Chains A and B, each alone.
Chain A
């Protein structure tokens, strides 16, 4: 064997090195891909990339096994004539046949009733294109996966502070001294968080994790605080209670930058009860918060205009305006609300001792108050006050799905945003910081359509398919107040469902409520498995037929790169490429990868050619848009406007001459402009030269306090990132929510909810955060089903929408249900026993694993390890289908019938966020005679035509020799 020091790896073949952007999860790290003889040798983190700074995760390094996976779909496929849907019987067709079939069908739907076409995508980082396609087509029935992921986090925070965690903002761990993570949040986003938590810990920062389970990042927390699922809101409200009662809040910050001191009408007889008292002023129409509100002046003891120079308002008290109106500062209302939420009260709900809750509040409050950061950066606020420095209170938070995926998540997240505001940590060093294009107005400007008239044959949709309602008039309902969208988003059932409700699309289409559709196009969404709740029934709905023998969902198109469970249910399968085979724009119009210091966007550029006949979904949309002659895809003469997707990205502008397109970098004819500028024909090339990303670093004085930073807001307006350079005041008190509540109370002349929903709206659209038990717990017998059941993904599979990967599946081949031994002993269950987990929706047989790292009222499992037999290119006897299981079978997608409706989604009543983590279960030992096999089982999915099923005992991957017969010598290739 040759001495390893006498040769270089580069000598083993023809070497090329290319950069692109990873897509093994939603994180989007910069990668450097080394090819040997055209095959992928090595994928590593790109050291020059701002996002991941050279590191890479377990998934990223396993991209090779994804590229060469036997689960790849390589040809367009049509369900074989006579074969039943779901049996995975297909025949190959050509792309031309596929395009003809789709465009003929879609053209007919578009000419008759465009809403009969529904487009739902599992990924929401290409919404700029998919949303554009839906709007141009004219259908409102479009959403990505946000509704069943973390929309509560986005909505709860954006409706409060004008920004949210992950792509739009995050914890500033470089300067924080105390970091509090609530619930599972590891996957948004993973590598940057890992980098920063590690540095934070090494600097001596204190890390507290509040979570029912100690896994993931909680493992290295300095303190783990176990909590009962769904009670985060109670904990946070009690912390807020303690902070206010101790005076541990940043008074100056609250007065200047939030609506805490603003006077709210306090007279339940009036129609404007609970709205801000506003004085007459000419206000230009726009989606900003006009500065026509009042403070109560301390010295003059009377009302004054907010931000009057040299004045100081009251935060507490009850006052009467000159015209006799009774008012209270918003902060007084908040204090009144928090009165009952004592730490002792929260102890009984959360399971956390009151003394611990008090101590947590004190640690946060004292750290924020006594360890102030001061940076010598001058800046000017929106009221022309010049500041000599930027200051910050170094307490940072992070939370995502753990707190969001409950039906009370929106209000819990409002409470968290208010906690962060009380501590004075918004867009300040050491606290929460925004990422471009945020902060945006509360709520942001785009609105959904507000009447059924927005949907017209052969016409683009009048409005955005997804938007940000600010008042009942923005809801997308008909004259009866009922939903226009298939998923009932933006109806009174889920008024602020800003990411839609993809999780109810199939059930609603199957039931024909609110109407039946014709064609559903699913992209990268495994709705027949781990992306649906109540999976077994969803699979049934996909094959169910009406009295005429026709499928209730007549035509299903699935675009995916892999043989997922959903593919079996398709009528037409479109083979997508992998991320290594395609162009992609991760756009500022969508959810870019910006840093705290300024906007960043990025691209993918193919490093290998497409496999078989795979075609990127982006190309499919551009092709279909052109064939259907959707206005954005054709020129004045009605001819095809864009050659292909890269050409579209280069030349598309949001409106003719707007200068705003998908990519922000190197705009202008020669690439001399950024964010705004005419199309640059060499833009792709310039991205490629810069390692596939563009990063604009803001001047330091524009990097903080951006909600109220005059310089930043004007810069952002001038570069087309926001429409108004008005201050974005924090909504400690939410007037937006109060407007919906007033409507439910029958006040005013505007739209009002249907009778059945009045109480629900009145309760949940509370302008101040409150705690309520999750909906499902209120509607099921919690004595019969006493346990909470949770899922989370392991780090090697975060957001990775496939686990057929030969290397990653060896890390997690099947999952267990983790049970605290205290609970297991009480049920006579041993470690490793086969057990049943049962909810009112269904039951699953699986294996028990003891864990001391879970609170005893909770059981949990790694999600999406379990697979249907035969799917994902795996052998039918693979562990994933025999021992692995899917907890989703137990989670209802709808609530049991209640006074608010027969078929309400199991979701947050404000946002429609899927309440995955509300499910209640019981566990018991499986019978001694039962086989060691997980249930439910489904008929084995057959391999697809064009799928290269590899059944050999061995796979010895060696780049450059794949598909060749190597002369193997003792395991060494050299």
Chain B
């Protein structure tokens, strides 16, 4: 069985929210829509978003890291939201591992959102139906789209290409390669849910300059007959006899 998933590269995510609204846009008018907004132009607006970006600060000034953290349903391989559903509305597809909700069967009891350790479910309070990320199942399986566009809307939108989409059961997929080679990790693996989505950590480039490399023989100051910025210090010639 294949398991479609997202691998999100925190090393390049700048927190621009492109994934958030491209998801909203695609899904609101698609198979999983609508994604209603409560008080869209009033106080405390609150709508359904399948994908959100959280921002954290880590560490104290001046050693502060700012982390942008996009989060949506992780499409667990052993999803706790599925067995708790009293109507069978919450299900995991056998063909590609995507976790979905059948709105016709959903009674809006919210058991699934209680069971999900990641807070990834979104209640549509207008229609009293639980909704969630579908990995754009209606795009990725649409054979009328060009292959290059059979990807979730968030993946196509992402300006830093921080979202890698693929089958993590296929060891040669870009997603699997990224997980394997760049330290991909799961969220809260101790829950045993085996989230299919993975994250790639920050990586840091540093530069080492060896003292000897600072001044080169062809230093342009030599051409101007300026004293070179080299402190030679004492030599044996100065102190030995």
Binding site for B on A (CB under 8 A): 1-2, 4-5, 7-10, 36, 41-45, 47, 52, 54-62, 64, 70, 178, 186, 190-191, 194-195, 197-198, 201-202, 204-207, 214-220, 222, 224, 226, 245-251, 298, 312, 314-317, 359, 362-363, 366-367, 369-370, 795-796, 804, 806-811, 813, 820, 822, 851-856, 873-875, 877-879, 882, 950-951, 953-960, 968-974
Contacts and interface: CB of A to CB of B under 8 A. Distances in A.
Contact of A970 (B11, B106, B134, B202): B106
Contacts of A359: 209
Contacts of B18: 55-58, 60-61
B42 interface: yes
B30 interface: yes
A-B pairs, top 3 by smallest CB distance, nearest first, are A971-B127, A198-B160, A251-B220
Contacts of B134: 4
B213 A366 contact: yes
A852 B60 contact: yes
A186 B63 CA distance: 22
A810 B24 CA distance: 12
Contact of A958 (B33, B103, B138): B33
Given A807-B24, A957-B29, A971-B131, A950 B17 contact: no
Interface string B135-162: 0011101111100100001001111111
A472 B21 CA distance: 51
Contacts of A43: 25
Contacts of A218: 66
Contacts of A882: 43
A204 to B, nearest CB: 6
Given A55-B157, A222-B205, A795 B16 contact: yes
Nearest to A69: B41
Interface string B184-212: 00000000000000000011111101000
A363 B37 CA distance: 50
A369 B228 CA distance: 17
Contacts of A854: 61
Contacts of A813: 44-45
A970 B104 contact: yes
A2 B127 CA distance: 18
Contact of B42 (A9, A219, A878, A972): A878
Given A57-B159, A795-B17, A807-B37, 9 more contacts: A5-B141, A44-B157, A217-B14, A813-B45, A877-B42, A950-B40, A950-B41, A956-B28, A971-B131
A971 B64 contact: no
A875 B223 CA distance: 71
A219 B67 contact: yes
B156 A45 contact: yes
Contact of A879 (B12, B43, B95, B131): B43
B80 interface: no
A956 B41 contact: no
Contacts of B36: 954-956, 971
Interface in B16-72: 16-18, 20-22, 24-26, 28-47, 49, 57, 59-62, 64-68
B239 interface: no
Pick the most buried of B33, B62, B141: most chain A CB atoms within 10 A of its CB: B62
A44 B22 contact: yes
Report which residue of A61, A822, A874, A971 has the largest number of chain B beta carbons within 10 angstroms of its beta carbon: A971
A974 B134 CA distance: 15
Contacts of A954: 36-38, 40, 126
A316 B220 CA distance: 11
Judged by DSSP, the binding face of B is loop
A41 B62 contact: no
A208 B209 CA distance: 16
A366 B209 contact: yes
Contact of B64 (A36, A54, A55, A853): A853
A795 B14 contact: yes
B41 A971 contact: no
B74 to A, nearest CB: 19
Nearest to B134: A4
B221 interface: yes
A957 B160 contact: no
B219 interface: yes
B214 interface: yes
Contacts of B148: 47
B16 A57 contact: yes
Interface in B82-135: 95, 100, 102-106, 124, 126-127, 129, 131, 134
B233 interface: no
A56 B157 contact: yes
B34 A956 contact: yes
Contacts of A178: 207
Contacts of A70: 41
A56 B22 contact: yes
Contact of A58 (B20, B141, B215, B226): B20
A970 B17 contact: no
Interface residues of B, number: 95
A879 B106 CA distance: 33
Contacts of A367: 207
16 contacts: A1-B105, A7-B138, A44-B22, A55-B18, A195-B161, A197-B160, A198-B159, A206-B205, A247-B215, A796-B16, A806-B40, A956-B35, A957-B29, A960-B29, A971-B126, A973-B33
A226 B66 CA distance: 13
Nearest to B138: A4
A880 B237 CA distance: 76
A2 B102 CA distance: 9
Contacts of A973: 33-34
A369 B218 CA distance: 11
Contact of B41 (A207, A250, A874): A874
Nearest to A856: B61
B224 interface: yes
Nearest to B59: A852
A853 B157 contact: no
Contacts of B160: 194-195, 197-198
Contacts of A879: 43-45
Contact of B29 (A42, A202, A315, A853): A42
B158 A247 contact: no
Of A197, A250, A804, A956, the most chain B CB neighbours within 10 A belong to: A956
A197 B9 CA distance: 13
Contacts of B206: 206, 222
B159 A55 contact: yes
Nearest to B224: A316
B61 A853 contact: yes
B218 to A, nearest CB: 9
A796 B220 CA distance: 47
A263 to B, nearest CB: 15
Nearest to B125: A954
B80 to A, nearest CB: 22
Contacts of B42: 874-875, 877-878, 951
Given A316-B224, A807-B47, A971-B131, A61 B39 contact: no
Contacts of B13: 220
B45 A251 contact: no
A312 B224 CA distance: 11
Contacts of A366: 207, 209, 213-214
A54 to B, nearest CB: 7
A820 B60 CA distance: 10
A61 B17 CA distance: 10
Contacts of B203: 201
A201 B12 contact: yes
Contacts of B26: 42
Contacts of B20: 58, 796, 811
A624 B34 CA distance: 44
Given A5-B137, A955-B40, A958-B29, A58 B221 contact: no
